[in-house]
Amino acid sequence: MTLAAPLRTETKPQDLGLRCIACDATLAPTLVYRCPDCGGILEVVRQKPESRGWLRADFVADDITLGEGGTPLRELRSDLLHAGFKGRLLVKDETRNPSGSFKDRLVAASLSRAIALGATGIVSASSGNAGAAAACYAANAGIPAIIVCPDATPRGKLAQIAAYGAGLEQVPGHYGNSFEHAKRLCAETGYANLTATYLNPYGVDALRLVGQELHEQMGRIVPDWIAIPTSSGPLVKGVFQGFMDRAGEVPRLIAAQSEGCAPIARAFKDGKIDVAGWENPNTIASGISDPLQAYPEEGSLTLSLVRASKGVAYAVGDERIREAMIDLARKAGLFCEPTAAASLAAARDLFMNGTIGSTDTVVCIVTGHGFKDFAAHEGVGHSIHRGSRPL
Ligand SMILES: *Cc1c(COP(=O)(O)O)cnc(C)c1O
Ligand SMILES: [Zn+2]
The whole-angstrom separation of Cα 337 and Cα 360 is: 26
Nearest residue to 237 (alpha-carbon basis) of 270, 268, 280, 205: 205
User: Which ligand has the shortest distance to the CA of 35?
Assistant: 2
Residue 249 Cα to ligand 1 middle (Å): 23
Residue 286 Cα to ligand 1 middle (Å): 9
Q: State yes or no: pLDDT of 273 exceeds 70.
A: yes
287 lines ligand 1 (CB under 6 A): yes
Residue 331 Cα to ligand 2 middle (Å): 48
Mean pLDDT (the chain) is 93
Residue among 94, 106, 110, 129 to mutate when testing ligand 1 (max atoms within 8 A of CB):
129
Alpha helical stretches, state H, 117-233: 129-141, 155-163, 175-189, 201-206, 208-217
| 146 close to 191: Cβ distance less than 8 angstroms | yes
- Per-residue confidence at 219, pLDDT binned at 50, 70, 90? very high
230 lines ligand 1 (CB under 6 A): yes
Q: State yes or no: pLDDT of 5 exceeds 70.
A: no
Helix axes 208-217, 234-247, angle to 10 degrees: 50
pLDDT for residue 4:
54
User: Which ligand has the shortest distance to the CA of 102?
Assistant: 1
pLDDT for residue 387:
47
Region 43-67: what's the mean pLDDT?
Answer: 82
Amino acid identity for residue 42 in this structure: L
Residue 21 Cα to ligand 2 middle (Å): 7
- Per-residue confidence at 7, pLDDT binned at 50, 70, 90? very low
Residue among 339, 364, 365, 372 to mutate when testing ligand 1 (max atoms within 8 A of CB):
339
Q: State yes or no: pLDDT of 202 exceeds 80.
A: yes
- Burial-class residue 77 by CB neighbours within 10 Å (0-12, 13-18, 19+): exposed
pLDDT for residue 13:
61
313 φ, ψ (degrees, to nearest 5): -105, 130
Residues facing 93 on adjacent strands:
366
Check residue 33 and report its DSSP letter.
-
pLDDT for residue 58:
80
30 vs 142: which has the higher pLDDT: 142
pLDDT for residue 269:
98
Q: Show me where the domains of the chain are located.
A: 73-97+206-377
| 228 close to 222: Cβ distance less than 8 angstroms | no
| 285 close to 342: Cβ distance less than 8 angstroms | yes
What percent of the chain clears pLDDT 90, i.e. is strictly above it? 87
User: Which ligand has the shortest distance to the CA of 301?
Assistant: 1
Region 219-235: what's the mean pLDDT?
Answer: 97
- Per-residue confidence at 232, pLDDT binned at 50, 70, 90? very high
The structure's pTM equals 0.94
Nearest residue to 315 (alpha-carbon basis) of 234, 252, 198, 229: 229
Q: State yes or no: pLDDT of 234 exceeds 50.
A: yes
Q: State yes or no: pLDDT of 49 exceeds 80.
A: no
Across the beta sheet with 26-27, the strand order is 26-27, 18-20, 42-44
The whole-angstrom separation of Cα 306 and Cα 84 is: 26
User: Which ligand 1 atom is at minimum distance from the Cα of 255?
Assistant: 9
Region 351-360: what's the mean pLDDT?
Answer: 98
pLDDT for residue 46:
83
pLDDT for residue 16:
84
pLDDT for residue 391:
44
- Return left, alpha or beta for 122; rule: phi > 0 is left, psi -120 to 50 is alpha, else beta: beta
273 vs 382: which has the higher pLDDT: 273
The architecture CATH gives domain 73-97+206-377 = 3-Layer(aba) Sandwich (3.40)
What percent of the chain clears pLDDT 70, i.e. is strictly above it? 92
pLDDT for residue 12:
65
